[in-house]
Amino acid sequence: MEALRRDWPIQDIAKLAGTTSRTLRHYDDVGLLKPSRVGSNGYRYYDGDALLALQRILLLRELGLGLPAIAEVFRNQTDTVTALGRHLEWLGQEQERLARQMASVSKTIRTVSTGGDPVAEEMFDGFDHTQYKDEVEERWGKDTYARSDAWWRGMGPAEQQAWKARVAGLGRDWIAAATGGVDPGSAGAQDLARRHVAWLTSIPGTPASDDGGDTRGYVLGLADMYVADPRFAANYGGTAGAAFVRDALRIYAGAHLPGAGSGQGKAE
């Protein structure tokens, strides 16, 4: 006789997951998370497979994905272990970044509480947009970095926040496509590549922003850096996500981007 699989009532799962029974019922209504069974009293129960699905839903929600996008991810990425492995890689990168921020803030608190003066060089670890300064200067020159840095510092707080939100949204969309098993050459991935290049060309001082600049070389160089450098890869959910972005950008660059000296430095 086959052993009965354990399941848990909806109230217990809602409490364990830090959500509500109403939310779980909504996930059922939209077809995203079906209970393993419904008791004679009408209560929903969830087994181990359902819990795995709920964990993935909550992780994807943390990335900012809406329910339709999560449903698309589930349709395209059916291997739970592979999907969770990608999520784990992203969480590890995010954990490292947050740890750096926490250490920075803790040091500031200790310094101020003892009457000391905050050390500017130590206050912004995990926050600073200049963390890629050395790589940019090495590949594209100090002038490229200086012009881009001046542009950034010339923004007001609201403008910087809007810019960060735009970048974060693009990153979330890349992660959703990568974890959803989308083909890098598909229309959806290529539209993301178009958006990505449009973002790059809007940053003053870069080869992608200058007429006659080597837009293709710049984009391809960045695409390789996304995979090679864990700090870049973290923006796209880890190495696997970065490789997806790289492959999509390579396809887009081959079809749409000119090289140096063509006089067509802008993305369409």
Q: Give me the mean pLDDT over the 124-142 stretch.
A: 55
In this predicted model, what pLDDT tens digit does every residue of 33-55 receive, in sequence order? 999 999 988 899 999 989 989 99
The full set of domain ranges for the chain reads 7-62, 80-256
Pick the CATH number of 7-62 from 1.20.140.10, 3.40.190.10, 3.30.565.10, 1.10.1660.10: 1.10.1660.10
Q: In 3D, which of 59, 33, 58, 73 has the Cα closest to residue 179?
A: 73
At 148, the amino acid letter reads: S
Note the pLDDT of residue 33. 94
pLDDT value for 265: 36
pLDDT bracket for residue 124 (50, 70, 90) = very low
Task: Write out pLDDT tens, residues 183-199.
Answer: 999 999 999 999 999 98
By CB neighbour count within 10 A (0-12 exposed, 13-18 middle, 19+ buried), where does 79 fall?
exposed
How many residues are given for the chain?
268
Residue 25 pLDDT greater than 80, yes or no: yes
Per-residue pLDDT, 75? 77
Q: Are 86 and 59 in contact (CB under 8 A)?
A: no
Residue 132: its pLDDT value, please?
55
Averaged pLDDT for residues 196-206: 82
Asked whether the predicted pLDDT for residue 3 surpasses 70, the reply is no
Res 117: pLDDT: 62
Helical (H) or strand (E) element with 44: strand 44-47
d(CA 117, CA 99): 22
pLDDT of residue 263: 37
- pLDDT per residue as tens digits for the range 61-91: 776 667 877 887 787 766 777 777 776 776 7
DSSP state, residue 130: G
Mean pLDDT of 98-118: 71
Span 128-149, mean pLDDT? 59
Q: What are phi and psi of 124, to 5 degrees?
A: -120, 20
pLDDT band at residue 178 under the 50/70/90 scheme: confident
Mean pLDDT of 206-230: 78
- The model's pTM is 0.50
